Amino acid sequence: MIIRKYRRLIILLISALFGLLSTLSLPAWSNSKSNQALQLAQQGQQSYNIGNFDQAIQLWQAAAQAYQQMGDKEGVTKSLINQSQALQELGLYPKACKTLLQAFAVANPTCNPAQIDKFLTNITQQQNSLSLTQATGLRSLGEVFRRQGLLEQSQKVLQLSLTALDKSPQSSAVLLSLGNTERTLGNQIRDRWDYEQITAIIDQKSQDAALAPDQKAFQYYTQAAAVTSAPAIVKTQAQLNHYKLLLENQAWWREQTNRRIVSWSRFGESKLIARAKDFLSELELKLSQDVQTLQSQIESSLATITPSHATIYAQIYFADTLINTEQANKAKSILDTALQQARTLKDQRAEAYVVGYLGKVYQQQKNLSEAIALTQQALMLSQSRNTTGDGREITYLWQSQLGSLLQEKGENKRAIAAYTAAYNTLQSLRTDLNANNRDVQFNFVQEVKPVYTELANLLLKSELSESELSSLVIANPNINQSKYEQNQPKNRLEFARRVIESWQLAELDNFFQDPCSQETDVAVQIDDIDSQAAVIYPIIFPDRLEIILSLPGKTLQQVTIPVSEEKVNNTLDRLYDYLDNVTVNNSARNILSTSNPDPEELKENIQAILPIFGQLYNWLIQPLEPQLNAKQINNLIFVLNGRLQKVPMAALYNGQEYLIEKYGIALVPSLQLIDTKFLKRKNIKVLAAGVSKQIQIQGEIFPALVNVPKELDEIKQAFPTSQKLLNQEFTTTTIQKKLKSNFPVVHLATHGLFSSNPQKNFIITGDGKSISINELSTLLKEQENNLELLVLSACETATGDERAMLGLAGTAVRSGARSTLATLWPVSDASTAQLMGEFYQELKKPGVQKLTALRTAQLSQLESIRSQPLFKQLKSLPPHPYFWASYVLVGNWQ
């Protein structure tokens, strides 16, 4: 685990930074006996109002001490609550949490889970006697909990606060906070729906189901705006959040529906297409009406609201939304007003934001010179010593925007310098990206990704001299400074590869909302690991597919394939439809899931799939073949991202043979995460656990895996010192107990799932319970010795979930396992048992790589199917990939 300091939170999405703002400037109370304490409290309020949060914290802390000396408990409590508000503005949520618990007289506040649970129990018992001050503190605590991902706890304290405040003016702020918490919950539910759930909603044309995850948020925002006595800024913030959430729903459902229309068009599903179009048009009409109503209300409110720090940010937030909906002229007018207010209030941080977003307006209007000038001005303001707090979060935004503008202007070398600066800022803040604010997870990839991809894009299509490259200061905070020079990239391809690997690490960190992906402190080369392996980095850009090839003993090589992102993604979608899409009747998954598969359907399916695998082969492998053959490469290691992560690379097809028939294949999330130390595999023993019986959990039935006992027996036969746990013997407790004996290999033959929801990455245990991958990783890490291999033989990645592979890749990283073997889709337990038996027989041979053992087992399965096809109609065709290509090895392949 990386030790980190909690700094000013970098929030990379303007809607996350301003759209979820609900802090209220609390009044300085006048019932103090001390003019000094009251004066400190009032000065703190003044500093807070102009955005000088560091000074406000100091003043309110001093006020709390003054009240403490007087014995004024109420004054202390109010000062601490105020202090926590300013701490939240600076993103210091853990410290804000401790300050609030201190305000509630919790001894030695740490905000650990046990202490929070105890506090919630105690405060719930006092719910009928809470004071207005306590209710205000609970609202603030609810915000802190939400920011830290403690959503249930946030709901509880906010409901208590709302009950105590009843219909007072302060209740509006609590309703706003409740809306924000429900919005976060709704986003998680919606973004974690699987392909089949979304398809069913579209097919049923159910607007209610489509909007269900956000209904509570809509209701709370409406109620918050309706409290007549509430401060105008709170009502406006509620309207803004409601407005933005409607637009998010509109865009999300448009993308999801159009994707299915494209899919159904391939199969001539005219009725489904018609229903989808009806659903989308009806939903868009409903949402557009609500959007227009709210936009008018917001414009009216902002025109009359009193200028303040919060008002300026509300205007920026609204203006950014207008920019994104092609209303640049309206946005400019609002930003001009906000700029005047920021300068009047001498709020330089707010001024930096306003000027930067004015630059964004001019970019949309194609006035690049003015846009660049404003962005550079915003960058200077954000880096000024007069900017309070950590200015890097603002700096990153304008460095990135400047890179985009220079790129648009055709000044690519200057754009590279700007993007490099943004990249360095992100790298320096990597451990902070998710440390505090857990509710922006799904925005992270969309907002951070462009910095990495655009920088890589420019590096790969620009010619940089050695002096130009050396002029770029390329930071890596995790590299030992004494090794700094030797780890500076020697050419643009090395730098591009570093950028791509950094993106992979950042994505993993964000996926788990915890920066625990510990990279090595030196640049790892393939020569350090395997002299007969090549590493392939395919990157999809809008206008082309780029491949970086890393070969032992050679400098990096670049291959450019002139194919558009649209065509690549369309090809990958077609592959998914024919292979694993449960909503397509004649996908391989549906054909083979029936008790009596139709041989003609299966024949047609493989005839449709082979050309797609052939196209992918021609893009990803064929251009590299001369170099691979010249270096006598045996193993191909892929670093994949986006939709490519769901492609079974073993099944790429050249017209005569599959890729697995020529090479061993493995996936790595990043070469920098590979433990290059070679561990000797002497006296291997396996902890083999499995479930063979049918199990029902929360209404979902997991069918019996009748061949699991055979699978475990074959492991025991290959490695006699192994131990097996079947059905009732396989529990979390027994696994934990057995792991104390240090098993280098852990084999789990049971149902499980990897998805884009870390909480829904789980495996089923024999006592009818589930254990999350996070919990499993914690158990596995308790071993004294490194875990060599984790095998999850009956698990699968969620269908249609493009981020599901992060769950699988992350498991390999977080469990401490040097590698993980799992499946992309469900495979019959009979064939799995056979393959695993052969895999372990190979693995026991001296010097055999895990990758080679898997390849040998897969080839054996291929030959078995080839000699004895499921149907005679398939005799002349290659074995269908669905039977054997699902198995993937992630991590160190040695």
Distances (CA, A) of 127 to 124, 130, 331: 5, 6, 44
Angle between helices 412-428 and 492-512 (to 10 degrees): 40
Token readout for 803 is: 């981020």
**pLDDT of the residue at 521:** 44
**pLDDT of the residue at 580:** 87
Q: What percent of the chain has pLDDT over 70?
A: 84
**Domain coordinates in residue numbering, the chain:** 526-672, 682-846
**pLDDT of the residue at 829:** 72
Token pair 């082979």 is found at: 610
**pLDDT of the residue at 853:** 93
**pLDDT of the residue at 512:** 58
**pLDDT of the residue at 435:** 43
**pLDDT of the residue at 93:** 82
Token pair 């977080």 is found at: 814
Give the SS3 label for residue 649. Answer: helix
Residues contacting residue 58 through CB under 8 Å, at least 6 positions apart: none
Q: Cα(first)–Cα(last) distance of the chain, in Å?
A: 25
**pLDDT of the residue at 806:** 65
Residue 509: Cβ within 10 Å count:
21
List the CATH code of the domain at 526-672. 3.30.420
Token readout for 728 is: 């009732």
Which helix H or strand E contains 240, and what residues bound it?
Answer: helix 232-266
Using alpha carbons, select from 814, 798, 527, 770 the residue that is nearest to residue 669. Answer: 814
Token readout for 662 is: 């020529």
Report the length, in residues, of the chain: 894
Q: Low-confidence residues of the chain, pLDDT below 50?
A: 1-32, 433-443, 478-486, 515-516, 520-522
**pLDDT of the residue at 798:** 59
Give the SS3 label for residue 580. Answer: coil
Residue 689: Cβ within 10 Å count:
26
Q: What is the DSSP letter of 550?
A: E
Which helix H or strand E contains 552, and what residues bound it?
Answer: none
How far apart (Å, rounded) are the C-alpha atoms in residues 540 and 569? 9
Instruction: Give the pTM.
Output: 0.81
How far apart (Å, rounded) are the C-alpha atoms in residues 11 and 447? 10
Residue 255: Cβ within 10 Å count:
9
CA torsion 371→372→373→375, rounded to 10°? Answer: 80
Helices (H), 71-150: 73-89, 93-103, 113-125, 132-147
**pLDDT of the residue at 614:** 97
What digits encode the pLDDT tens for the residues 180-192? 999 988 987 886 6
How far apart (Å, rounded) are the C-alpha atoms in residues 749 and 10? 41
**pLDDT of the residue at 192:** 66
Token readout for 651 is: 């099944």
**pLDDT of the residue at 427:** 78
Using alpha carbons, select from 783, 774, 770, 687 the residue that is nearest to residue 740. Answer: 783
How many whole angstroms from its chain centre is CA 147?
Answer: 16
Domains 526-672 and 682-846 share a fold: no
Give the SS3 label for residue 448. Answer: helix
**pLDDT of the residue at 193:** 78
What digits encode the pLDDT tens for the residues 468-496? 887 886 765 544 444 434 456 678 898 89
List the CATH code of the domain at 682-846. 3.40.50.360
